[in-house]
Amino acid sequence: MNRLAEKVAIVTGASPNIGGTLALGLAAEGARVLCTDLSPGVAQHCADKIVAEGGEAAAVAGDVTDPGHVDEAVGAALDRWGRIDVLVNNAVFFKQQGVLTMSYEDFRHQLDVIVGGSFLFTKAVAKAMIDTGTAGSIINVLSTAAWQGQPGNVGYSTGKSGLVNFTRSVAMELAEYGIRVNGFTPTATAPTDPVTRAKMDELLARPSPYRNEFAAQLPLSRLPTPADYVGAVIYLASEESAMVTGTNITVDGGATAKYWPWMPHPV
């Protein structure tokens, strides 16, 4: 299919889990994709995989909180393809701690990556879209933790919730240029990449005072995989959502809609 034919996309945080899967999904619909990540190997692996599957891609590694990296990535996309149509702000820094245990330095760094990185990339890409007369789409990856109070994860929850109103505010500001800005909310995800799965298993095995039964709480009974998210992001990136801005699409198996005491499945 070619719902994104000739479009150019930048995806930040292109790890094999959510970001990399979204990048591959965009490419499968015809987009040319610039993959960015803090790790040069991760960014290049994502681009190489797209090329191996018949798509067109490039990689630029760097820190999303570094304006120099942002300028390099945006410049690389413009130099190679002459335009940017889609930005997916997905980069994240994980540090699952609570207000009583997290250092202020780590809290600030987590907000810098989640909110600050989105600010820098959105600003640079929006300017490029305006300069080229491109009515593009900016997609901010949120989380169910943006909409609910998750104990022991204060930096992540605060950063992702900050993106909710960042999305609305920027959508209003950029509407006059035809640039749409929307949120996309995934939830706890079952990774299909073996390395990511091993990291998640290690994280879940760590002692925690907070009990989480993810799959047992979802009305649809299983955790989504990264592939479950591709359709929603393709829709937001495509012309099919030409009148959609300042809002959010949630793919969470019913997690945020569920009445809180209801137990849909036995634990």
Q: How many CB atoms lie within 10 A of CB 33?
A: 31
Tell me which H or E stretch contains 132: helix 117-132
User: What confidence tens digit (pLDDT) does each residue in 60-97 have?
Assistant: 999 999 999 999 999 999 999 999 999 999 999 989 99
Does the pLDDT value for residue 247 go beyond 80?
A: yes
Does the pLDDT value for residue 220 go beyond 70?
A: yes
User: What confidence tens digit (pLDDT) does each residue in 48-69 have?
Assistant: 999 999 999 999 999 999 999 9
User: What confidence tens digit (pLDDT) does each residue in 118-159 have?
Assistant: 999 999 999 999 999 999 999 999 999 999 999 999 999 999
Q: Which of 104, 156, 177, 235 is catalytic?
A: 156
Mean pLDDT of 228-251: 98
CB 234 within 8 Å of CB 29: yes
Can you name the residues that pair with 212 across neighbouring β-strands?
Answer: none
Q: Is 156 a catalytic residue?
A: yes
The residue whose two tokens read 């305006």 is 130
| Measured distance CA(107)–CA(219) in Å, rounded | 32
Please count the CA atoms within 13 angstroms of the CA of 204 that sit on its side-chain side. 12
pLDDT at 250: 97
Q: Which domains does the chain have, with CATH numbers?
A: 8-250 (3.40.50.720)
| Measured distance CA(62)–CA(35) in Å, rounded | 11
- Quote the distance between the C-alpha of residue 249 and its chain's center: 12
Q: How many CB atoms lie within 10 A of CB 254?
A: 14
Does the pLDDT value for residue 245 go beyond 70?
A: yes
Residue 223 is classified by DSSP as P
- CA nearest to 135, candidates 169, 181, 80: 181
* Beta strands in 72-177, from DSSP E residues, in sequence order: 86-89, 137-141
pLDDT band at 205; cut points 50, 70, 90: low
